[in-house]
Amino acid sequence: MNTNNSKNFESLDPQDWEQSKALMHQMVDDAFNYVQHVRDRKIWQDMPEPVLNSFKTALPKQPSTAEQVYTELQTNVLPYPMGNIHPRFWAWYMGNGTISGVMGDFWASILNPNLGGGNHAAHKLEEQVINWIKEIIEFPITSSGLLVSGGSMANYSALAVARNVKAGYDIRSEGLKANNLVFYGSTEVHSCNIKAIELLGLGTKGLKKIKTNADYTINIEALKQQIADDRTNGLKPICIIGTSGTVNTGAVDNLNAIADICEQENLWFHVDGAIGAIAMLSDKIKTQLTGIERADSVALDLHKWLHMPFEAGCVMIKDNAGHKDTFSLIPEYLAKNTRGLASGENWFSEYGLQLSRRFRALKVWMSLKEHGSDRFGRMISRNIEQAYYLGDLVNNHDQLELIAPIGMDIVCFRYNPGSLDLEALNALNKEIKLQIEERAIALPGYTTLNGMYCIRCAISSHRVTNTDFDVLIENVLSIGHELRN
């Protein structure tokens, strides 16, 4: 019997296409309203016990209706967001997303291609997006690139290539002969770089952390001295990691100075540009990033200042051959043809760890097509202006103080009414931050600099206005006064 023609035949398609279509239209309407009216809802709130318990139920073995599933989503998920699409989210460094990005993700899921490789439009579209990013950071067209999950994987990929190219022998076939390879970065380098170097077999000691200047940029003289000392001690320096926008303060290392050292010492120059590299689109900050075009590799996060929906990172590497040699492995089941779907010379699976890859490029392509890169540049410039607006609010009040220079769009400050020791000040500012969060006023971040706990605002929203910072400062002061009395 042909079961395909049987009325008992099962698939995962809707049993009633029109009913399913009506529900999907309702979801789209609700989604647009959710974003349009984001200011009308609490930015964040604790989940009550019944909601928490709903996530502890057993595996559903029997079906529910799609309407029932959607009702549960509306009840137990939508009211309790992380908050990062809200204009007053300044905690971890995240963008807001765009509607065209949302629709790009929607169509990526409908098409559902695997971007490991092959001869199809999605592959060509990703190549185009990568070429656009080369243009933004002023890399040569011959460079290789790959869209990845985010800055962590982008940095890992670049550092893996740096290790293999600069080791001086074939690490892929021989493994690490001696653990004497050394990377360098400032004490402010992002933790994902530390993880990457550990996973590359070099251990935590494989990264030499260099002290910073007062503005939290890497100290160039200390860097030079450390390299010289390491060579004297039999170590093999291979790579310097410069940062264009540290996560704590937004500091941008002197990229040209690092590039000079790398040229003189024959080292790989990598830029962790997860925060700031895309700011090459902004006339206000592009000059601070001078030297990024001299890097051997750059890591970018497109879900930060380019506002792509998660997840969207990118790694760019000038040495195309070195990049491919680090990751390419073609078994018989991935052998290429000269014709058909399996044709094409450079498959993305040859440039990274993943064979299965989501169609991330579509949301980037649609967003850049709709808005144009100049508009994104203006959004970045406005955030920088807003950071200095917030800095002025802090400087204009005698009970507030900046804890670090404003780096790009990151402002670190604290409430300081005077007459408190460091431990009491730290506890007070931590409580102010938590109460602002719990009262759903805003979601500022925090960090500790030179032992001082501070409120940290990473301003990367395309929805935020100056009035939002007025509200923040008003509440910092009022809550601080409440806690002191």
pLDDT for 459-478, tens place per residue? Answer: 999 999 999 999 999 999 99
Average pLDDT on 257-266 reads 98
Contact between residue 274 and residue 313 where contact means Cβ atoms under 8 Å apart: yes
Average pLDDT on 444-460 reads 96
In the predicted structure, residue 197 carries a pLDDT above the cut 90: yes
Quote the pLDDT of residue 5. Answer: 62
Sheet holding 452-458, edge to edge: 89-90, 443-449, 452-458, 410-415, 400-402
303 and 428 housed in the same domain: no
381 and 362 housed in the same domain: no
In the predicted structure, residue 313 carries a pLDDT above the cut 60: yes
Q: Is 354 exposed, middle or buried (0-12, 13-18, 19+ CB in 10 A)?
A: middle
Contact between residue 465 and residue 442 where contact means Cβ atoms under 8 Å apart: no
Quote the pLDDT of residue 347. Answer: 84
239 and 350 housed in the same domain: yes
Residue 94 lies in a domain: no
Q: What Å distances lie between residue 39 and 32, 86, 304, CA to CA?
A: 13, 7, 20
Average pLDDT on 63-88 reads 95
Residue 205 lies in a domain: yes
In the predicted structure, residue 58 carries a pLDDT above the cut 50: yes
Give 208-218 pLDDT, tens digit per residue: 999 999 999 99
70 and 110 housed in the same domain: no
**What's the number of domains the chain is made of?**
3
Quote the pLDDT of residue 3. Answer: 53
Quote the pLDDT of residue 270. Answer: 98
Q: What is the pTM of this model?
A: 0.94
Q: Which domain holds residue 157?
A: 102-371
Domain end, chosen from 356, 371, 386, is at: 371
341 and 396 housed in the same domain: no
In the predicted structure, residue 1 carries a pLDDT above the cut 50: no
140 and 24 housed in the same domain: no
418 and 349 housed in the same domain: no
Amino acid at 199: L
Average pLDDT on 263-282 reads 97
Number of residues assigned to the chain: 485
